[in-house]
Each structure stands twice: as structure tokens, then as C-alpha cells.
């Protein structure tokens, strides 16, 4: 078994605060990172913030702040959000970090030295929302469909990257599964884009001051998308820690949203090939989250701050809800009403009730001792494979089958009745042992999804003197 595991999330653009859509990706990545650690792998888990570009400069100016001050403040919001959700990252990389800036310069110098960059004048349609050039065929009624703004027609001199020189090689690697794209519909989408042909892309902008200057042309700064992609290598020591880089690169998985597929599955591999760097092993793509069937949007006023949910329901409840409610790889809808329903049904009345009932009975009927753990009734052997195939919602559904079985087993065996007669003590002991084994296994399997809850259960059952546990999921006032 490979001993190292490197997983990354997309880094978040700091033109806004963290929202629940960002949280979904971070929690899913964290589940995979924690699962790999439980398998004994040495894990490096990278997340962070994307901090350059015209849009950030505009936001900072609107708030009367210097760009770096604005970036520092906003990056802290994201960091706090992931800390509050128990996202166990190893580094929070920022594109304003000195080692990242150095790595960007080094990689572009390599690509230029290899003859893959050229200077040219370009006229095109520029979408401020995307911070990218788009084409006429991308427009709907003359507007960018995602941002509902009309793109500007601009002419400027840029440095261009010959993406077209590498598209055949990228296609070959995808088809041979040397570069994996999951799920298969996203893989097919990328192959379709490659078959259509891919234009060369600008890697610099002349009039964007808040960015990384090109090492050989200080009038130009590195295009924000190129700058951002390089975090995946800068974050593990490409410039300055060769040992760390060799240990963990290539990445096992880049976890991204489907809206940035093209950048991660065509442009990023092309940049790496041009720089002579090995490609990541694969890209994992999730769908969009909607809120009550509407796109998450500041203009609609439906942006949910994950911290609000964490404060009210607890981090494990939010993690559980996100992973159980929306199948990874597909679009899904979330709302506080759905979260509350899961909280009250699955968590408080399901798992929480089970643990409370069992620890209470152990305290009363087993002299506060956990019986010697026997074989659990439901072994949950499928859970590992379901996590490894990114079926997080199915993995949790399986675990909750065991929760339901244990609650039903208590109802059927009625330990409180068995305890009334000395003749039934052996049977009572057997029932409590069976339940203890099942609950302990449930906690083990839950660890990547709900680390705090799993730890509380494990600690309680490893204690020499077990007492009734406080409610894992207290009642939430409406």
C-alpha cells in the first residue's frame, strides 16, 4: 500500500466570505484525508485562499483598505470557518505567501525557457466576474450567463501559453487512466473539450497591479488563474523544501467543483507538462449546491455562513448533514429545514438516543463496566469501499442501518426487564455486550465523518467506569 497521500481542495477566491458551498468541498476532502490517516498513510492535506486579481483590488478599494490588509482579513475568515468545521488541513496556503510567489516565478521561467510562451496582442471579451476571457458562444443574450453582466471588449498585449502543444498528450493520459477524472461524465466532458480543440491562453495581464509580476516583464502580472493553480505545488515545498515535494507530489486527488473543470483538467496539466513536472494522479469533481432549489447568490440574499450553522448545531452535525444529504459528484439542495430534520431524526433521536440509552443501562446494570467487546451484529464491512469510491452518503446510510438495528434490538430485548431477575443476568450481559460492540464499531466508522462524536463515544467506552453520557445532540430551540 502506498504510504503517502496528498489531497487538495480548490483554494477559495477572497471576493466574499465562506459559504456552505465552500464547506461541502472542504468537508468531503477532510473525510478522505482522515480516512487515509486511519489506513496508516502519511497525509498532506492542502487548502487555502486565492488572493490576487482585479476583483480583489476592487473589493479592497471599495472598503477603503490596502489589498494586503484586505487579503489578510478575508483569508482569516476562511481559515476560521474550516477550523470550526474540524477540517484537518496540514497547510493553509495563500497566494500572497512568499514561497508561493517564488514558485510561480520559477515555473513560468521554466515554461518560457522551454519555448512555450510568446508575446502577442489579443482582442477579446473579458468577463470581470470570471476574471477571464470568454467567447461569443459562451454568452446568452449577450451576457455572461453565470454573472449576468455584459463582457467588456478589450485589446491588450499579453504573454500567451501554447496549451495546444499539450492537448494530445493530456488526452492520451486521460484515455489511459494515467490522469483520472471522476466522475465519468466529467471525464467525458474534458475529452469533448479536447476534441473540439483548445486555444492558447494568456498567462499575464498588463493593467492588473495587484498580482505577481512576471519575472522577465515587470509591466505584466501573472493571470490570477495561473497563479492560483500553482498553489498545488508551492504548498508542498516546490520552492524551498525539495524533500517534502518529492515525498508527496504527484497529488493523489485535486478536489474541485465542476465549474473549474477546464482549468484543472486541461490548463493545469498543460502547464505541468510544459514545466517538466509530473501530473497529479486525478481530479475529483463535485456538483453544485443550491439552497431551497435556488443558486447560492449574494444578490438573492441566500448565502449561508457555515459558522452560523456550526454555532447552532455543532460541527459534526453540519458535517454529517452535508455528506449525507448530497451525493458526491451530483448537484444537491440544502436548507436549514433539511439540516434540522436530519439533526432531530438521525442524530438526536437516532445515534444520540442509542448512546444515551446504552450508557445509562451499562451504568445501571453492568456495574458501570463495558462488557468484553464481542463481534458486532452488523460488521459494516462495506463502509471502507463506499468511502474509497466517494459514496459518502451511502457509507453514512449503512452506518445508520446499524444505529437503527441497535435501537430496535434494545426495544426487542428490553434489558430493563431482564435486569429484574437474577435468572436473566447472563442474557442481559450478552445483550449489553452485543450492543456495546455495535456502538463501538459505529464510532470507529464515523471517525472520518464526525470526529468529535466518534471520539466522545470511543473515550466513554474505553473508560473503566462508564456513566450515562450527556446528550451528544442536545435539543435545539426553534
**476 in a domain, yes or no?**
yes
**445 in a domain, yes or no?**
yes
3-state secondary structure of 75: helix
CA angle 321, 322, 325 (to 5 degrees): 70
Q: Are 433 and 373 a contacting pair, CB within 8 Å? A: yes
pLDDT at 382: 97
**Distance between alpha carbon 274 and the CA centroid of its chain, in Å?**
28
**377 in a domain, yes or no?**
yes
pLDDT at 299: 63
Note down the domain range covering 435: 335-478
**359 in a domain, yes or no?**
yes
**74 in a domain, yes or no?**
no
Q: Which residues pair with 120 in a beta bridge?
A: 158
Tell me the angle at which helices 20-38 and 315-325 cross, rounded to the nearest 10 degrees: 90
2 upstream amide cis, omega within 30 of 0:
no
**136 in a domain, yes or no?**
no
**146 in a domain, yes or no?**
no
Q: Out of 39-48, 153-162, 287-296, give the one with best mean pLDDT.
A: 39-48
**428 in a domain, yes or no?**
yes
Q: CATH number of the domain at 425, please.
A: 1.10.730.10
pTM above 0.85, yes or no: yes
Q: What is the pLDDT of residues 209-245, one digit of tens each?
A: 999 999 999 999 999 999 999 999 999 999 989 999 9
Number of folded domains that form the chain = 1
Cell of 132: 477571464
Cell of 371: 462488557
pLDDT at 298: 63
Among all chains, which residue has been given the C-alpha cell 487579503?
Answer: 71
pLDDT at 134: 74
Amino acid at each position: 500500500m502506498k504510504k503517502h497521500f496528498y489531497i487538495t481542495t480548490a483554494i477559495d477566491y477572497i471576493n466574499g466570505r465562506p459559504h456552505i458551498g465552500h464547506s461541502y468541498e472542504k468537508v468531503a476532502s477532510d473525510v478522505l484525508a482522515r480516512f487515509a490517516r486511519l489506513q496508516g498513510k502519511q497525509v498532506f492535506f492542502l487548502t487555502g485562499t486565492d488572493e490576487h486579481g482585479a476583483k480583489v483590488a476592487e473589493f479592497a478599494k471599495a472598503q477603503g483598505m490596502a489589498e494586503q490588509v484586505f487579503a489578510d482579513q478575508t483569508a482569516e475568515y476562511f481559515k476560521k470557518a474550516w477550523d470550526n468545521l474540524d477540517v484537518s488541513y496540514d497547510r493553509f496556503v495563500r497566494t500572497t505567501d512568499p514561497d508561493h510567489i517564488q514558485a510561480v516565478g520559477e515555473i513560468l521561467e521554466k515554461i518560457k525557457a522551454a519555448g512555450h510562451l510568446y508575446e502577442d496582442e489579443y482582442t477579446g471579451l473579458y468577463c470581470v466576474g470570471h476574471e477571464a476571457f470568454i467567447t461569443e458562444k459562451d454568452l446568452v443574450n449577450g451576457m455572461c450567463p453565470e454573472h449576468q453582466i455584459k463582457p467588456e471588449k478589450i485589446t491588450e498585449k499579453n504573454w500567451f501559453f501554447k496549451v495546444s502543444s499539450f492537448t494530445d498528450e493530456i488526452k492520451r493520459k486521460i484515455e489511459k487512466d494515467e490522469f483520472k477524472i471522476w466522475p465519468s461524465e466529467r471525464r467525458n466532458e474534458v475529452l469533448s473539450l479536447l476534441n473540439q480543440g483548445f486555444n492558447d491562453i494568456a498567462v499575464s495581464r498588463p493593467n492588473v497591479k495587484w498580482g505577481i509580476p512576471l519575472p522577465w516583464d515587470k509591466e505584466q502580472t501573472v493571470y490570477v488563474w495561473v497563479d492560483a493553480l500553482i498553489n498545488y505545488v508551492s504548498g508542498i515545498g516546490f520552492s524551498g523544501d525539495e524533500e517534502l515535494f518529492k515525498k508527496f507530489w504527484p497529488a493523489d486527488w485535486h478536489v474541485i467543483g465542476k465549474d473549474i473543470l477546464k482549468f484543472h483538467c486541461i490548463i493545469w496539466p498543460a502547464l505541468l507538462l510544459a514545466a517538466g513536472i509530473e501530473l497529479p494522479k486525478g481530479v475529483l469533481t463535485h456538483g453544485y449546491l443550491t439552497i431551497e432549489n435556488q443558486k447560492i447568490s449574494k444578490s438573492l440574499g441566500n448565502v449561508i455562513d457555515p459558522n452560523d450553522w456550526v454555532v447552532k448545531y455543532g460541527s459534526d452535525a453540519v458535517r454529517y448533514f452535508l455528506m449525507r444529504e448530497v451525493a458526491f459528484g451530483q448537484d444537491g439542495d440544502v436548507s436549514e429545514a433539511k439540516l434540522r430534520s436530519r439533526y432531530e431524526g438521525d442524530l438526536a433521536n437516532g445515534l444520540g438516543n442509542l448512546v444515551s440509552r446504552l450508557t445509562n443501562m451499562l451504568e445501571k446494570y453492568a456495574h458501570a463496566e463495558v462488557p468484553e467487546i464481542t463481534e458486532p451484529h452488523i460488521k459494516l464491512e462495506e463502509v471502507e469501499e463506499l468511502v474509497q469510491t466517494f459514496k459518502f452518503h451511502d457509507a453514512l446510510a449503512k452506518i445508520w442501518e446499524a444505529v437503527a438495528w441497535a435501537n430496535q434490538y434494545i426495544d426487542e430485548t428490553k434489558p430493563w426487564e431482564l435486569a429484574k431477575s437474577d435468572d436473566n443476568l447472563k442474557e442481559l450481559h450478552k445483550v449489553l455486550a452485543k450492543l456495546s460492540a455495535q456502538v463501538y464499531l459505529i464510532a470507529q466508522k464515523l471517525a472520518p465523518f464526525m470526529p468529535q462524536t466518534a471520539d466522545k463515544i470511543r473515550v466513554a467506552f474505553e473508560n473503566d467506569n462508564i456513566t450515562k453520557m450527556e446528550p451528544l445532540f442536545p435539543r435545539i430551540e426553534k
